[in-house]
Amino acid sequence: MRVRAVLVSLRPEQWTKNLLVFGALALSKHLFEPEPFARTAAAFLLLCGISGAVYLLNDVVDVDRDRLHPRKRLRPVASGALPIPTAIALSASFTAACLGGALALGIRFALCLASYFLLNVLYSFKLKNLVILDVLALSLGFPLRAVAGALAIAVEFSDWLLICTLLLALFLALAKRRHELVSLNDNAAQHRATLTEYSPYLLDQMISVVTASCVTAYAFYTTAPETVEKFRTERLVWTLPFVLYGIFRYLYLVHQKEQGGSPTDVLLTDRPLLLDVALWAVTIVVIVYTAEGVPVPLGRG
């Protein structure tokens, strides 16, 4: 029973976010090479481990608030199935093991992983209580994952793609805040103090700005001269409809179906959205690997 409680607290269903580390591998045209793939897979596992440590720590910090939430009160730490001292010890152990293992992929990757952990610690103890900074801090973890993937195989990562990743993560974070605010009603402030600083109207305005920025940034990335030169193709812009549909579908689920509390759950349970993401990824790989460009040499950056 205790083992199951630990596994649930590590939240393996959230580890899909760490698949971002494979972005650099795919776009550098090393996706089908054994050594780069193995290094990226190792980076993915280390990110999953450090993410689990963060979730354990966050559950300890938020235990009182989680007990007021209709769904989060069932988490092992909040429900008492996993004692707080055990959760703290496991979090420390996972952190030490993952940071130590990260050194095998290089000091820069280890520093990136440490930065990801420290950002989440700051979020758990302070930043989650600061309006606007809470969603920004939550979103910064996504580009850090993407950078970690590039550092694991020592290739450069496009600044444009980092911007797109940040904006998309910010879009999801704002949608999550909106869902919390609407679904919890009068209990919203007890669950998360910053929710008193938001309103559905304000969040809708922020989401509108971020949505437009995300689509624009992605369009600029796919048509940028440096992108065309790198991949020897102008066809990446063909993937823009997938991005538009994905964002519109997510907005539909948030506003019409009152979803968005867990972006991972939405992605894994909504078939049209899951199919859209899969088609986008496959199209990217086909375009990049059938173009005339050559792989980005390992060891850059």
Q: Map out the domains of the chain with their CATH numbers.
A: 2-290 (1.10.357.140)
How far apart are alpha carbons 287 and 234 in whole angstroms? Answer: 9
Q: Please write the tens of the pLDDT for every residue from 194-231.
A: 888 889 999 999 999 999 999 999 999 999 999 998 88
| CA-wise closest residue to 57 among 1, 125, 5 | 125
How far apart are alpha carbons 178 and 14 in whole angstroms? Answer: 20
Q: How far is CA 117 from CA 60, 97, 133, in A?
A: 16, 13, 17
Q: How far is CA 166 from CA 144, 148, 163, 172, in A?
A: 9, 14, 5, 10
Amino acid 169: pLDDT: 95
How far apart are alpha carbons 205 and 216 in whole angstroms? Answer: 17
Token pair recorded at residue 148: 């970690």
Amino acid 222: pLDDT: 94
Select the more confidently predicted residue: 215 or 268.
215
| CA-wise closest residue to 296 among 115, 153, 96, 132 | 153
Task: Point out the least confidently predicted range of 137-141, 151-155, 183-187, 259-263.
Answer: 183-187
How far apart are alpha carbons 146 and 49 in whole angstroms? Answer: 16
Residue 281 predicted with pLDDT over 70: yes
Q: Please write the tens of the pLDDT for every residue from 102-146.
A: 999 999 999 999 999 999 999 988 898 899 999 999 999 999 999
